Chains A and B, each alone.
Chain A
Amino acid sequence: MLGIVVGLVVLFGGGWLFFALAEYMRGEAANFVGLALPLLYLGGSIALAVRDDTRRFGSGLLLAIGAALIILAGVCFGLLFMLAGHG
């Protein structure tokens, strides 16, 4: 449960922060950050989920990104990618 809450906070907080900072970045930098952040989150979640002592937390992070993508229909990430691509 903690992983889900932290995951949602990170996803929404990170997305909001990215939008706030993206206008100050160059196009290539925004593009790179916009693509790297979700991949970093996913990779980090899997790495935590595989370790015995952080398994539940990592699973929560995975559930959070899945739920966020499904429920919000990818709108947030879509905007993030779009901004990164055209920024």
Chain B
Amino acid sequence: MIPLPYPGNDLVHGFWVGLGVVAGLVWYALEKRRLRLHDDRLWVLAGMAVAFGALGARLLTWPAALDPSRTSSLLEWWTLGNRSILAGLIGAWIGVWLGKRLTGYREDTGELFAPAVALAMMIGRVGCLLTENPGTPTGGGWGMVMTAEQAERLGGVPGVGLNPSFLYEIAFHAVALTLLLRWRGRLAPGALFRLYVAGYALFRFAVEFVRGNEEVWFGLTRPQWFLLAVSPLLIRSVLRALRAPAPIHPETRSRWASG
């Protein structure tokens, strides 16, 4: 069994998350250059995605607390509350939507963003793997292990093998990145990003059963309830994207496919 290397170490966590963000932005810049997309409004969209993603990761989890008696003030939630990748994705999505409205950019950007997001999440989750409560007990003699002191601090079960749930998530994003690169240019505009988000939603719902998060209602965690709540929108969005006809921008499409 492998001990948790840096329990609760914000510096290590911040380093890996930062590395993920930088890698995602570098990827975005290289893709933008490879596709010869010189429109500066794409940088506005990237900025809006990162800024609103960061704000959303913190602020959007505030009303998502299902137990009203435990909902704290916005100030308290900002300083001490949870951060959520799911809320961050929603925030980033809102940011890009708002950026498009403000700048008048009309073309689809999903295929530009999706691989960058997958790469950023894959790297960023290493920080979680090294510092956070790994997950529920595996029930066998394998997994990650925490001491009693670490378990009390981070929540979780001490002295037994725990599911490395963040490793599962890293593997998911690695596979997703491979598929995104293989399928780019072959689907309707926007379909790739929506499929990636839908796939992540499904994966995340499943992995929550071994993540070790608090079960709030009917044995489901907050992220699972959140995913259930947004699933109709997600399904509708994916179906609409898949039903879309020919690519809107054939010249761009051929460049996507050739890469």
Contacts and interface: CB of A to CB of B under 8 A. Distances in A.
Is B a genuine binding partner of A? yes
Contact of B47 (A62, A68, A69, A77): A62
Interface string B1-29: 00000000010011001100110010000
B79 A56 contact: no
A59 B83 contact: no
Interface stretch (B48-56, B147-155, B183-191, B210-218): B48-56
| Majority DSSP secondary structure for residues of A touching B | helix
A25 interface: no
B40 A70 contact: no
Given A50-B103, A71-B17, A55 B43 contact: yes
Interface in A48-77: 49-50, 55-56, 58-63, 65-75, 77
Contacts of A50: 44, 102-103
B182 interface: no
Contacts of B57: 70
Given A66-B50, A69-B54, A70-B18, A56 B13 contact: no
A66 B54 contact: yes
A77 B51 CA distance: 14
B226 interface: no
B78 A81 contact: yes
Nearest to B39: A55
Chain A interface size, under 10 / 10 to 19 / 20 to 34 / 35 or more: 20 to 34
B54 A65 contact: yes
| Majority DSSP secondary structure for residues of B touching A | helix
B58 interface: yes
B46 interface: yes
A63 B95 CA distance: 12
Contacts of A59: 40, 43-44, 46-47
B46 A81 contact: no
Interface of A: 42, 45-46, 49-50, 55-56, 58-63, 65-75, 77-79, 81-82, 85
Interface of B: 10, 13-14, 17-18, 21-22, 25, 40-41, 43-44, 46-55, 57-58, 75, 78-80, 83, 99, 102-103
14 contacts: A45-B47, A49-B48, A50-B103, A55-B43, A59-B40, A59-B46, A59-B47, A63-B25, A63-B46, A66-B54, A70-B50, A74-B54, A74-B83, A81-B79
